[in-house]
Structure 1
Amino acid sequence: MTAPIVLTCGEPAGVGPELAAKAWEARGSALPFAWIGDPSHLPQGTPVAEISAPHEALSVAGRALPVLVHDFGGPAAPGTPDPAHAAHVISAIARAVDLAQSGAAGAVCTGPIHKKALKDGAGFVHPGHTEYLAALAGVDRVVMMLACPELRVVPATIHIALSQVPQALTADGLTATLRITHAGLRRDFGLQNPRLAVAGLNPHAGEGGAMGREEITLIRPVIEALRAEGMAISGPHSADTLFHDAARARYDAAICMYHDQALIPIKTLDFSGGVNVTLGLPFVRTSPDHGTAFDIAGTGRADPASLIAALDLAQQMAAARAATARAAL
């Protein structure tokens, strides 16, 4: 048993607090976790046990949601973010990272944040959660993976316009993405020799240069160089034939060239159960693959499936990372 997971509150005006309560109700006794947030933001009637350290969650999770109190100084109005809460949202994330880095927490699972609210209320300078976590950990480069039981995907470029993708793709960047993904699958998923499949950028993976030459000039040389080092890597594959059942059986993760090429297949396969994973950090981090959902916050309609999947995967990854560390001794 690894140390309990810590779950950050995220934006308290969003669905994060009610999802934390639902996740505890569904999995709390079997999967103890500690929620970092203000108890007053939880749905009325949520059983709460205030704790001072994550390990205390193990003894109380069967009867109440374990809470590491993070006082926001006021209530939250569902659907309406308060600029005064922004600094507290940020500091709750930093607190979770400190707990994970010290070993007090086995993993960090993050509730959804609203980047504009953080920027407006506290001058948040990072593009998003992932970049802030990397800065806190002192890591230059991390990789975003989306995972569900049927598929793991990694976009080599993320939140940029499609027209910018060819310029953003570089040999160094793609090589780093593949190396971090390979190392993460070994350390955090227990795969001794991960199989990576790399998608092409263009239709039909360029069709020999007839539909673009990035596969010839950039993607294939990177693949061949890493394959020469012993990495089990294939491609570039035509993306339109990479995600059916038989194709998925031949790899452990697919590396895609842009955001939608990666996210459309996984959200089609498992819209509610997809998990956002950050590879390359010195601690395990997962997150539900959805946003704050201000439109339904406070209504009780939010689906906890993605958060529960994120907590489950965080526990599995933490256990795999611990086993990998023991095997290296």
Structure 2
Amino acid sequence: MQKKLPLLITTGEPAGIGMDVVLLLAQEGKLQDFARPIWVTAEAEAMQARADKLVAAGVLTTCPPWQTITAQVNADDFVEQIAQQTDASNNDNKYTFVLLDIPCGAPVVAGHIDINNALMVAQQLEIAHQMASNNTVAAIVTGPLQKSALIDAGIKLLDGTMFSGHTEFFMQQSGCDKVVMMLANQAMKVALVTTHLALKDVPAAITADNVRQTVQIVIDDMREKFGLTQPRILVCGLNPHAGEGGHLGTEEIDIINPVLQEFINAGVDISEAMPADTLFTPRHLANCDAVIAMYHDQGLPVLKSHGFGDTVNLTLGLPYIRTSVDHGTALDLAGRGGASATSLYQALTMANEMVGKSLINRPLYKSVP
């Protein structure tokens, strides 16, 4: 039987709860739910210290066993070392996960950021990208990082700009011109045309190219990564009542609907712009695989109201699967208890499901130029 590729978890900021939530799932035996190896990037010394701290606090009953792989800090060397150790390759019941040891620049103190550890955080992401790109791992599941720490440490993206987050990092590393943020839970999947923009800046960002690229990426990934050969997509208008025939705004008439009509003409099952207060009702959502919202607070509050704890952040448009927890570093909880591992479990679950449903290079419709 062919071995299943691992899911790779990056624990992110070592002072935060990234290691805590991995340890919680390991103790509960939930990392075995995915029937494939689980690899984790963290510093081995810091992981052991965090486990000991959580045991002392009564959060863990015992330290879960893991296998530590020490190598040069690059993907190829880790893979070579893992290949030489059958326990890591087979992921037998002796270990709950395989730890890829990435040394920090300074001692890790739970709850206290040290910018000397920012390089280690960036190295986790570089290794994850390399392993996903060459199909060493099936998917990346990212834990929380502290963007301010990487910025203060002078960590840059490939284009020389300041570090602005996981999404931009993986987009540039993969050579993508655009990616799409999608949040998903059991109730719905919502993708965004614009993300973290001031509301006053949103209308200018709703261009034909931006809408077209967003829709194309959503359709491609719903097909290729969710296995939906004919995804059903609903699209929010920008304005109240989708512009009320131009009386409350003309973006729907001038920009959004002409682009959507291109996709309709190409055989895509997609709506024209709909009023958001009509779209987000059970009757419409029951016949929908994904929603595209024009801006952040148009779509995400509705989604999170239907399942805040089990929401997963996805990056669509990458050449591999990447899911993420939907919470921050929670520095005040690190090593003390109180952190919930639900979001990490849901991110792993969705990544594993996407791997199983992925349909690569299965033609369905012509792309809109």
TM-score where L is the length of structure 2: 0.84
Check if 1:39 corresponds to 2:44.
Answer: yes
- Three-state SS of the structure 2 residue aligned to 1:191 is coil
Shift in CA distance, 294/57, structure 1 to aligned 2, threshold 3 Å: farther
Letter in 2 for 1:50: T
Contact 1:2 1:319 in 2 (8 A): no
Paired position in structure 1 for 2:56: none
CA distance in 2, matches of 1:28, 1:81: 28
Shift in CA distance, 62/272, structure 1 to aligned 2, threshold 3 Å: farther
Contact 1:46 1:65 in 2 (8 A): no
Paired position in structure 2 for 1:3: 5
**Within-5 A mapping of 1:33-72:** 33-42=38-47, 43-44=51-52, 45-51=63-69, 52-53=78-79, 56=88, 58-60=90-92, 63-72=95-104
CA distance in 1, matches of 2:169, 2:93: 29
CA distance in 2, matches of 1:302, 1:103: 32
Moved more, 301-310 or 26-35: 26-35
Letter in 2 for 1:276: N
What is the CA-CA distance between 1:49 and the residue it aligns to? 1.2
Contact 2:27 2:64 in 1 (8 A): no
Q: Summarize deviations over 1:151-187 as a string: whole Å, max 9, x none.
A: 0001100011000000011000100000000000000
CA distance in 2, matches of 1:256, 1:14: 31
Contact 1:2 1:318 in 2 (8 A): no
What is the CA-CA distance between 1:225 and the residue it aligns to? 1.2
Q: Summarize deviations over 1:90-114 as a string: whole Å, max 9, x none.
A: 0111001111111111111111111
Check if 1:123 corresponds to 2:155.
Answer: yes
CA distance in 1, matches of 2:331, 2:294: 31
- Three-state SS of the structure 2 residue aligned to 1:211 is coil
What is the CA-CA distance between 1:214 and the residue it aligns to? 1.0
TM-score where L is the length of structure 1: 0.94
Letter in 2 for 1:68: L
- How many pairs does the alignment contain? 326
What is the CA-CA distance between 1:10 and the residue it aligns to? 0.5
Check if 1:17 corresponds to 2:43.
Answer: no
Paired position in structure 2 for 1:87: 119
What is the CA-CA distance between 1:40 and the residue it aligns to? 2.4
Moved more, 171-180 or 286-295: 286-295
Paired position in structure 1 for 2:295: 258
Contact 1:8 1:92 in 2 (8 A): yes
Shift in CA distance, 173/327, structure 1 to aligned 2, threshold 3 Å: closer
Contact 1:87 1:122 in 2 (8 A): no
Letter in 1 for 2:66: V
- Three-state SS of the structure 1 residue aligned to 2:8 is strand
Report the identity percentage: 38
CA distance in 2, matches of 1:13, 1:176: 37
Paired position in structure 2 for 1:169: 206
- Three-state SS of the structure 2 residue aligned to 1:163 is helix
CA distance in 2, matches of 1:160, 1:327: 35
Contact 2:133 2:319 in 1 (8 A): yes
Paired position in structure 2 for 1:325: 360
Letter in 2 for 1:225: E
- Three-state SS of the structure 2 residue aligned to 1:30 is helix
Which of the residues 350, 355, 359 maps onto 1:313?
Answer: 350
Which of the residues 181, 186, 190 maps onto 2:223?
Answer: 186
Moved more, 202-211 or 168-177: 202-211
Structure 1 vs Structure 2 CA RMSD: 1.8
CA distance in 1, matches of 2:26, 2:241: 45
CA distance in 2, matches of 1:203, 1:248: 19
Structure index of larger Rg: 2
Moved more, 209-218 or 168-177: 209-218
Contact 1:156 1:169 in 2 (8 A): yes
Structure 2: unaligned runs, 5 residues or longer: 53-62, 70-77, 157-161, 364-369
What is the CA-CA distance between 1:149 and the residue it aligns to? 1.5
- Three-state SS of the structure 2 residue aligned to 1:278 is strand
Letter in 2 for 1:30: D
What is the CA-CA distance between 1:60 and the residue it aligns to? 4.0
Letter in 1 for 2:40: W
- Three-state SS of the structure 2 residue aligned to 1:154 is strand
Q: Summarize deviations over 1:249-284 as a string: whole Å, max 9, x none.
A: 121100001011121011100101011111111111
Contact 1:198 1:237 in 2 (8 A): yes
Contact 2:106 2:114 in 1 (8 A): no
CA distance in 2, matches of 1:326, 1:234: 25
Q: Summarize deviations over 1:44-98 as a string: whole Å, max 9, x none.
A: 2342211454772642465333211111144322221110000110011100111
Check if 1:142 corresponds to 2:142.
Answer: no
Check if 1:28 corresponds to 2:31.
Answer: yes
Structure 1: unaligned runs, 5 residues or longer: none
Letter in 1 for 2:65: P
